[in-house]
Amino acid sequence: MRMGVDAVLLELQREFRAAVLGTDDGVLGIQVAAPRGIAAARIEIYRNTVQASLAEVLAAAFPAVQRIVGPAFFDALARMFIAAEPPRAPQLSIYGSAFPAFITVASQEHHLPYLPDVARLEWARSESYFAADAPQLDPAELTRHGERIGEACFHLHSAARLIRSSFPIVTIWEMNQPENAEVPHIDMSMGESALVSRPGMHVVTRRISEGDADLIEALANGAALGTAAEAALSREPGFDLQQALEQHLRHGTFSGAQ
């Protein structure tokens, strides 16, 4: 068997990539066994399959973004993203992590400044769905710590994600669910934090208070519960730690505490 890379094949594959990711209808360095007009039409079939299938993957991961901007604009954004940042692995469940950042400029141009954060929330939901399995922290385990609970460090569950925004992203996301026809009153000056988790294999998105978000952020950074609670209270004097913890335990925010 001859070793080494087939340079001719490599060059053909590079040319083909440019053809299917690009928008140029004039073909190419590729020699195709067909008259020129037909060759272009046939390359177009591959280009369409590649771009449409990947756009569909993005639409499935970012349904609220698609609903906000409409299918045609979303498709245009998706195709720009595909050309600029094609998948780096044949695993489509991880394709789209860079999409929220990619749409920042277009979102500003179209006066939809909250769009990247809604996309970040949707990506967090997608990551949560595919994340590693882990047990949920059992409330009984907390009683083991007794009075020293304040010294306990909590481990965030592998499927838990905190998304903070200066826009009301959870409300916007809720408004753009297919089953939701009502448009609530919405105060665009109010930022919101979303906590995504996966209790019982079901991805849930909760709006949590800013104090609660500080708590989770501090715990995620390794702070003990007492220190994290102080951070929450200094942000939000009325913060109810007991109630917040109950909600987190019910929704599987943590996998353990020690």
The residue from 106, 131, 153, 220 that contacts another protein (CB under 8 A) is 131
Q: Give the C-alpha separation, 156 to 217, whole Å.
A: 10
For position 86 contacting another protein by CB under 8 A, the verdict is yes
For position 13 contacting another protein by CB under 8 A, the verdict is yes
* Amino acid occupying residue 11: E
Per-residue DSSP letter, 258: -
| Size of residue set near another protein by CB under 8 A | 53
Q: Give the C-alpha separation, 183 to 171, whole Å.
A: 10
By residue count, the chain amounts to 258
Cα distances (Å, whole numbers) of residue 245 to 154, 155, 193: 11, 13, 16
> What 3-state DSSP class applies to 198?
coil
Minimum separation from the CB atom of position 11 to another protein (A) = 8
For position 1 contacting another protein by CB under 8 A, the verdict is yes
- Interface with another protein by CB under 8 A: which range of 49-57, 112-120, 171-179, 216-224? 49-57
For position 6 contacting another protein by CB under 8 A, the verdict is yes
For position 38 contacting another protein by CB under 8 A, the verdict is yes
Minimum separation from the CB atom of position 194 to another protein (A) = 19
For position 73 contacting another protein by CB under 8 A, the verdict is no
The dihedral formed by the CA atoms of 78, 55, 169 and 167, expressed in degrees to the nearest 10: 0
Question: Any idea which residue has 């928008």 for tokens?
Answer: 23
Which residues of the shown chain bind another protein in the complex (CB under 8 A)? 1-3, 5-10, 12-14, 16-17, 20-21, 30-34, 38-39, 41-43, 45-46, 49-50, 53-54, 57, 86-93, 128-134, 158-159, 198, 201-202
